[in-house]
Amino acid sequence: MTIHTPPPEGGRIIDEPMEQALSRRYLAYALSTITNRALPDVRDGFKPVHRRILYAMHQMRLNPQSAARKCAKVVGEVMGGYHPHGDASIYEALVRLAQDFAQRYPLVDGQGNFGNIDGDSAAAMRYTECKLTPAAQLLLEGIDQDAVDFKATYDDQDKEPVVLPAGFPNLLANGSSGIAVGMATSIPPHNAGELIEACQLLLTNPAATTAELAEIVPGPDFPTGGVAVEGHASILDAYETGRGGVRLRARWETEDLGRGVWRIVVTEMPYQVQKSKLIEALADLIEQKKAPLLADVRDESAEDIRLILEPKSRTITPEVLMESLFKLSDLEVRFPINMNVLDATGTPRVMGLKECLRAFLDHQREVLNRRSQWRIDRVEKRLHLLEGLRIVFLNLDEVIRIVREEEQPKAVLIARFGLTEVQADFILDTRLRQLARLEEMTIEKEFSELSEELARLQALTSSEGKQWKAISKELETVRKALISPRRTTIAEAVDASAFVAPEAFIPREAITVILSERGWIRAAKGRVEDPSELKFKEGDKLAFLVPGFTTDKLLIAASDGRIFTVGADRLASGRGHGEPLRLMIDLDEKAEIINVLSHQPGGRLLIASKAGYGFIAPEDELLAQKRGGKQVLNGDLLAVLRVTGDHVAAIGENIKTLIFPLAELPEMGRGKGVKLQGFKQGGLADVTMFSAEQGPEWVDGGGRRRQWPDWKDWLGKRAGAGRQGPRGLRKFR
């Protein structure tokens, strides 16, 4: 057996601390993710994969006038020549460039199934075909005229552009999103016509403010339309700082069915919301009784979106129904704005609207100068050749003699007429038919035209003012090519408080809430007179019985100090065993239910912990909007009682009892509270409240209620130790 040993020095063994090795490698990975995958370039708005797809299609001559080619062919070209990653990721990026509901200005003309707004995926790449759109051609125009820098591809076999010429501000027109290491980007689409008008304003007035630009670009323009209900001040702040967000709502209209009957028709979806998932979510809201105003939802869409929402009652208004659904579903979404991009030096930066447009215009000037210089070089070369031909026509007989008789005509022509080698080679390669009188006139005309063009180009490259004027003219041409009406309506922020809450339309019916020891909850109609007749699952029994109404909010207190809020209208009917409470709230597995109360507006609750601390909490501050409830007490919760009297009676685990005035307890929304009773060992066993006029009561071991006429003997100050209570007193309830 041969034993391989590493060389004593060198080789692949590196002695380096693990922390430094991991730090350096992770930093390299993070930078690669930021610059090569997640963040777009501010100049052309592309990530590398999109730029490579468009350039590969350009190289394949898949222009709008040509026939489409299989997407598999395009993906193969991109993967083999420019993008050494999986074909699935490349095809996914290509498909997105073709989706008119994802791109405000699609850059790929897809033929076949490229997915839809319902979330259905595109067909396999072997079935679909594609070519470039006119908008994509505008982004690539001039790329063969040295307009941008090129770099070597991953295998050094070819060249790829560092950035595209970008004939319009694609970064803002089509938007972008991505997540890198430690940073992300989210840029909404805009109307290209408005963006170009804003660029024109910057060209005429470089000192224009973001507020002036926002008058031209009032907000994002999403491909799926919708209504942006973010206030103008909020959008302006996002454009100023590069960070913010915009609330986007579905567009809807009311369809009158006669006799006071109506229904809602949704015609435009919020951006990036899948219609099929939205319908499922609305159906779940109906089933779980979370949308009390909505009776039914169905999809009648064909080519256009038509989502039907049926109200539960004709007495409500369409506005109230929609406002409730905007809160509960993705009929309203918030699109984040985080304009984090790579600047011209490749540095990640958060830019505002003006900075992005300024960077685009600076890029356009560089492209213009490079294209002009590329054209100047070619015009000068052509003029140089034409000057040689002019000499030939002036000395035609002599040139013919030299060519026929001299052994080295090239050297003689150079010496005789002062030609360059390039001119001499061109003359010797010229056919006799080009020496006709007609050709001479053509050459003179071409020479004159090229001379004028050269003078114009040289004047352009030497004058910054003429450059900006030329860019302005080109942008106006592009604007006319891309002009399209705005799809997203910009509206002022809606004050939801102006509408009646959906709960107001819930019919008020008497119910009894039934919660079992194992956590199954239900609501029986009317009042339960005899709890013994209630049926439960085997091994389960009654824990709480709370009378109330369907319009009530239930406050459910847990032993971990949290109080949850559940609408009584959401509870399952009392015919069965109900449903697990844990499906409605995020209750910890180790936590137990301490009490269930029906919320009374303006009411107060006594909160007491096992450690002997407590306080008075306003009920209105305990209502929670989330499944996770509201953390009210810092500690283990012992009791939550509605304030009914003017005195508090506390008994510790040491059987000592203390009574003190309720007024000694502070009122607070959450916290630890103050000490109710002092203990050397153990904690609080129970607590109750009573009125001084009626006196307290307690329950003995046999379940009999006992009066306590001499309770004043135990009256003291809060936080006192108390003294031994009446015989048999262990708990009050």
Could you tell me where the DSSP H helices lie in 595-681? none
Residue 423, Ramachandran bin (φ over 0: left; ψ between -120 and 50: alpha; else beta): alpha
SS (H, E, C) 331-396: CEEEEEEECEEECCCCCEEECCHHHHHHHHHHHHHHHHHHHHHHHHHHHHHHHHHHHHHHHHHHCH
Angle at 284 between CA 280 and CA 286, to 5 degrees: 120
Q: Is-contact 172 190, C-beta < 8 A? A: yes
Could you say which of 127, 154, 239, 271 is catalytic? 127
177 beta partners: 186
Sign of the CA dihedral with 414 first, then 418, 424, and 428 last? negative
Tell which residue, 617, 619, 632, 718, has the closest CA to residue 667: 617
> Quick one: 613 exposed, middle or buried, by C-beta within 10 A (0-12, 13-18, 19+)?
buried
**Can you tell me the distance from the alpha carbon of 93 to that of 43, in angstroms, rounded to the nearest whole number?**
19
Identify the residue whose tokens are 């304009």. 339
In degrees and rounded to multiples of 5, residue 561 shows phi and psi of 90, 5
Tell which residue, 246, 224, 248, has the closest CA to residue 104: 224
Could you tell me the strand order of the sheet in which 674-675 lies? 637-642, 604-609, 613-618, 674-675
**Can you tell me the distance from the alpha carbon of 667 to that of 614, in angstroms, rounded to the nearest whole number?**
10
> Quick one: 405 exposed, middle or buried, by C-beta within 10 A (0-12, 13-18, 19+)?
exposed
In angstroms, the Cα distances linking 104 to 174, 192, 611 are 5, 9, 61
Q: What are the respective helix, strand and coil percentages of the chain, to the nearest 5?
A: 35, 25, 40
Query: Residues 6 or more apart from 712 whose CB is under 8 A from it?
Result: 659
Strands (E) in 610-714, as ranges, are: 613-618, 630-631, 637-642, 647-652, 656-661, 674-675, 684-690, 697-699, 705-707
The 3-state DSSP class for residue 169 equals coil
**Can you tell me the distance from the alpha carbon of 515 to that of 456, in angstroms, rounded to the nearest whole number?**
88
**Can you tell me the distance from the alpha carbon of 185 to that of 177, in angstroms, rounded to the nearest whole number?**
5
In degrees and rounded to multiples of 5, residue 346 shows phi and psi of 85, 15
**Can you tell me the distance from the alpha carbon of 555 to that of 619, in angstroms, rounded to the nearest whole number?**
9
Catalytic status, residue 154: no
Q: Is-contact 559 592, C-beta < 8 A? A: yes
In angstroms, the Cα distances linking 270 to 138, 171, 218, 274 are 28, 20, 18, 9
Q: Is-contact 446 452, C-beta < 8 A? A: no
513 beta partners: 523, 546
**Can you tell me the distance from the alpha carbon of 16 to that of 11, in angstroms, rounded to the nearest whole number?**
14
Query: Residues 6 or more apart from 228 whose CB is under 8 A from it?
Result: 219, 220, 235, 246, 247, 248, 249, 488, 489, 490, 491
Which residues are known catalytic residues? Answer: 127
